[in-house]
Amino acid sequence: MSGPMPADRLRNLNAVSRTLLIPLSIRASESQRPDALVRDPAAVELARRLDADFASVQRPEGDRVSFLLRMREFDRQARVFLAMHPDGVLVDLGCGLDTRFERVDNGQAEWYGVDLPEVIALREDLLDETPRSHFTAGSVLDFSWMDVLSSQAGKSGRPILFLAEAVLVYLAEAEVKRLVQAIAGRFPGAELVCDVYAPVVVRLHPVPPDMPKPRWGLKDDRDVEAWAPGIRLISQWYYFDEPEPRLGAFRLMRYVPFIARAVRVVHYRLGDAAG
């Protein structure tokens, strides 16, 4: 990576895709704090190269910390998966300009990033594919990306972990169900980690003007188990389980059970591996 990226490269992004600047800005600025919750040197370099108005996408401290805790949990889940399956496959749905592969790579894993064509085009300008990291253009709801994954990684029989961070909550329930069923059908035995909201959060949570509105809410995480044979809930993670000091007064929410469980990260196994 070298040299600045002209700002006009961002003009091809629609309003939803342009939100990729928000997590990039948070990761880059956080990495330079002495008390950083996560460190992402690649994000710092990307932010330097991408000549963008990051001031326009700043978030309040509470939102920033919540994002960082969620990202850290997704990274942790990826590392745990790779500890069990060192040559496993990670698939980031809606990858944006995330640099998870650089953060969690163990030297053996293979990574696929899936996002809209205009996002992948920008990603290709800024980051290089490698023999173990691949960019795949397409909507997560256009299952042609599964053909690519199946032809390149699916035939190897290696375990696959799908990561859907801040993606599924912005789809309609029917779309989420169709996507999960398709993954379970094409890649039996794969695992899925995603963040979910309680329905009341979807209805009432304030949405910044530059962000899409959440559409999918899940009352009971085990409801997904009924979507296809063999789906099993493995674990749930909640933001307030650990009293992170930088959450400030929000730490008190851990004592209000309904609020403490309203937003979480869930982990599923999608059936049993074929054969």
Q: Can you state the angle between helices 61-84 and 21-30, rounded to 10 degrees?
A: 90
- The rounded distance, in Å, linking the Cα atoms of 39 and 133 is 20
pLDDT, residue 244, reads 84
How confident is the model at residue 257, as a pLDDT?
78
Interval 133-147: pLDDT, tens? 999 999 999 999 999
Here the tokens at position 120 are 């992948």
From CA 155, how far away is CA 214, in angstroms rounded?
Answer: 35
What average pLDDT score do residues 177-187 get? 97
Residue 275 lies in a domain: no
Which bin fits 159, alpha (ψ -120 to 50), beta or left (φ > 0)?
beta
For the chain, the average pLDDT equals: 89
* pLDDT higher than threshold 80 for residue 255: no
DSSP structural state of residue 208: -
Give the pLDDT score at 252. Answer: 74
Domain that holds residue 239: 61-270
Cα separations in angstroms, 52 against 18, 124, 179, 221, 239: 11, 17, 33, 38, 30
- The answer as to whether 175 is a domain residue is yes
E strands in 202-256: 231-238
Q: Which segment of 115-119, 217-221, 270-274 scores lowest on mean pLDDT?
A: 270-274
Residue 52 lies in a domain: no
Domain count, the chain: 1
Kindly tell me if the per-residue pLDDT of 243 is higher than 60. yes
Over residues 45-75, the pLDDT tens digits come to: 998 888 777 777 778 788 889 999 999 999 9
User: Do the Cβ atoms of 108 and 145 come closer than 8 Å?
Assistant: no
Residue 78 resides in a domain? yes
pLDDT (0 to 100) of residue 178: 98
Residue 218 lies in a domain: yes
The answer to whether residue 99 scores a pLDDT higher than 80 is: yes
CA dist 175 and 184 (Å) reads 14
pLDDT score, position 2? 45
When mean pLDDT is compared across 96-110, 133-147, 196-210, the lowest value belongs to 196-210
Predicted confidence (pLDDT) at residue 8 exceeds the cutoff of 60: no
CATH number, position 156: 3.40.50.150
5: tokens are: 């990226």
- What's the whole-number mean pLDDT along residues 99-128? 94
Q: Identify whether 225 is part of a domain.
A: yes
* 139 or 11: which leads in pLDDT: 139
The alpha-helical segments, DSSP class H, found in the chain are 21-30, 41-49, 61-84, 100-104, 117-126, 144-152, 173-186, 199-204, 257-260
Q: For residue 164, tell me if it sits in a domain.
A: yes
What integer pLDDT is reported at residue 275 of this predicted model?
A: 55
Amino acid in position 91: V
Q: Is residue 44 part of a domain?
A: no
